[in-house]
Amino acid sequence: MTSFNRPALPDSIRTNGATPNPWWTNAVVYQIYPRSFQDTNGDGFGDLKGITNRLDYLADLGVDVLWLSPVYKSPQDDNGYDISDYRDIDPLFGTLDDMDELLAEAHKRGIKIVMDLVVNHTSDEHAWFEASKNKDDEHADWYWWRPARPGHEPGTPGAEPNQWGSYFGGSAWEYVPERGEYYFHQFSKKQPDLNWENPAVRRAVYDMMNWWLDRGVDGFRMDVITLISKRLDPNGKLPGEAGSEIDDLPVGEEGYSNPNPFCADGPRQDEFLAEMRREVFEGRDGFMTVGEAPGITAQRNEHITDPANGELDMLFLFEHVDFDCDGVKWKPRALDLPELKRIMAGYQTAVADAGWASLFTGNHDQPRVVSRWGDDSSEENRVRSAKALGLMLHMHRGTPYVYQGEELGMTDAHFTRLDQYRDLESLNAFRQRVEEAKVQDAESMLVGLAARSRDNARTPMQWDASKYAGFTAPDAATEPWISVNPNCAEINAAGEFDDPDSVYAFYKKLIALRHDNPVVSAGSWQLIDADDEHVYAFVRELDGERLLTVVNLSGRTVDVPAESAALLDGLDAVTEDAVVIATGTAAEAVASLAKRELATWQGVVVRL
């Protein structure tokens, strides 16, 4: 088991309700998108050796866990989230020996490795799916195969088993003449959904998971794991299917109905997760599980992450990154801070007595937070807002996740043309909404893509100011798979590493604070000044120690709101010794709070 060079939380402090306290309750996780992290062979794609080569950087930052987006063998239709062999590494990233080396070298530095687990679906090039095309094969019902709608010619428009649409555009059904039936895919047509109702499917998944844990992996981040249980009628039919007792939802503006209400948090979700816990993790120590959880409420998060229920350690909930748009993600709108606070308060309150929260604002599917909710229009505001947003998130109760480059304040790509994008979801959405359904014009769709495309988070990691940002050699024969952000000359690890005022230096302080101060990782959390439109404020408390966090998430100087001001009024004076951490200097924080105001993008944590 990996040994950490940091204090453990004593068992006298309650975290998620387990005893002893899990190691991850004061840990920080760093997500790596391998194809964009570090290229060592000049082919334009990041690789496992590149991650190994950068472990000292990650150890210096202080993170405890690396979560790797998929590196399994894959046709790369959805950048590796379409897996064709769970027990091999894609040549794009290296070999199994490279993976073993990464595990060994990370563990030497006290860093755990968590792999992405994608088992709601496989690639259509997986051997299981190829075999399932034969109705007489033992794999015949490992996927969701259905006949054409009665009275329709198979393979023609309208013959699909129901009207469900894919989240990546178009129908969620694909016809296979070889079998004479359709298969269901919530995502790309090259990502057929596995049929978790079949016990043989579950056994195969658990065997694979055990194989990786035996090899030294420390846990799994589970991709869309809350979509594995589908809602069926008493006869095993899906909603909207011919003869089903469950009606489908109405068709939306793009010509399809939404499968999510029938696939998210389905009737056997708890059963499947508890079975996985027993079959894979029971009797093991030192692991961590976190599930990507579309469709899960804060209240359900409490149940699933309560250790008494034996399911998962943590979940990623998405309401806080889904609400700032007008109905669809491609119509973004400005941040409504009171609404964000309401959502985050719901997350925190739900797990106050049992269970645990995951803390994130960025990942491989989200735009860069400093461009989304901060201000990247000037270098000063970029640095200030990146620190403010980091402080806001990391002072919550739970386990924080840092997405690669977030610790540098990396920004969105600010693409302006469709040919600059590589993401399947973005390209399909443009075609579906602009060219086929004609529900959005090209100009506004390009604005939407620039603000919300997943490619914003996938441009190469900015290591230095060289031609390709240090992601690959400046003289590499092959350009990176996606364009480097031109601002790499100003924003890069080399320029921030030794700068005490950099975003990187600030993230090191945030991570160290969580390791060293139990009130940050495990103390109670109470929202104050909930309706203030500019300041995010809350109180953390543990064993008599109280911390007030106040963060100005706006581009102008504002007054400290009433409840926060009243707490400050209860102090004789705010001194530099009382400042636990601040986005600027302690002296600047004291000066601002003495006037009961916060400067542009200023954040302060004060000991009450």
How would residue 121 be classed by pLDDT, with cut points 50, 70 and 90? very high
Count of CB atoms within 10 A of residue 414's CB?
14
Count of CB atoms within 10 A of residue 75's CB?
15
pLDDT digits (tens, 9 = 90+) for 435-471: 999 999 999 999 999 999 999 999 999 999 999 999 9
CA 435 to chain centre: 30
Q: Which residue among the candidates 90, 116, 160, 223 is catalytic per the annotation?
A: 223
How would residue 11 be classed by pLDDT, with cut points 50, 70 and 90? confident
Given this structure, which CATH class describes domain 523-607? mainly beta
pLDDT digits (tens, 9 = 90+) for 277-299: 999 999 999 999 999 999 999 99
How would residue 184 be classed by pLDDT, with cut points 50, 70 and 90? very high
pLDDT digits (tens, 9 = 90+) for 62-101: 999 999 999 999 999 999 999 999 999 999 999 999 999 9
- Where do the structural domains in the chain lie, given as residue ranges? 29-119+202-229+265-418+453-503, 523-607
What average pLDDT does the segment 236-247 reach? 97
**292 in active site:** yes
pLDDT at residue 1 in the model: 64
Alpha helices in 14-172 (DSSP H): 48-53, 55-61, 96-108, 127-132
pLDDT at residue 78 in the model: 95
pLDDT digits (tens, 9 = 90+) for 349-382: 999 999 999 999 999 999 999 999 999 999 999 9
Q: What's the CA dihedral at 396, 401, 402, 404 to 10 degrees?
A: -160
pLDDT at 3 over 80: no
Q: How far apart are CA 242 and CA 257, in angstroms?
A: 15
The mean pLDDT of the chain is 97
pLDDT digits (tens, 9 = 90+) for 164-173: 999 999 999 9
Q: How far apart are CA 122 and CA 452, in angstroms?
A: 26
Cβ proximity of 294 and 224 under 8 Å = yes
Q: Which residue among the candidates 292, 311, 375, 455 is catalytic per the annotation?
A: 292
Cβ proximity of 63 and 28 under 8 Å = yes
Residue 150 identity:
P
Q: Output 4 or 16, whichever has higher pLDDT.
A: 16
pLDDT digits (tens, 9 = 90+) for 28-42: 999 999 999 999 999
pLDDT digits (tens, 9 = 90+) for 545-602: 999 999 999 999 999 999 999 999 999 889 999 999 999 999 999 999 999 999 999 9
Residue 576 identity:
E
**365 in active site:** no
Cβ proximity of 194 and 141 under 8 Å = no
How would residue 148 be classed by pLDDT, with cut points 50, 70 and 90? very high
pLDDT at residue 261 in the model: 96
pLDDT at residue 8 in the model: 86
Query: Percentage of the chain surpassing pLDDT 70?
Result: 100
pLDDT at residue 597 in the model: 98
Residue 446 identity:
L
Angle between helix axes 298-305 and 337-350 (nearest 10 degrees) is 30
pLDDT at 107 over 80: yes
3-class DSSP state of 240 = coil
Q: How far apart are CA 68 and CA 73, in angstroms?
A: 14
Nearest to 216 by CA among 108, 104, 109, 119: 104
Nearest to 489 by CA among 386, 546, 410: 410
pLDDT at 315 over 90: yes
Q: Does domain 29-119+202-229+265-418+453-503 have CATH number 1.10.3720.10?
A: no
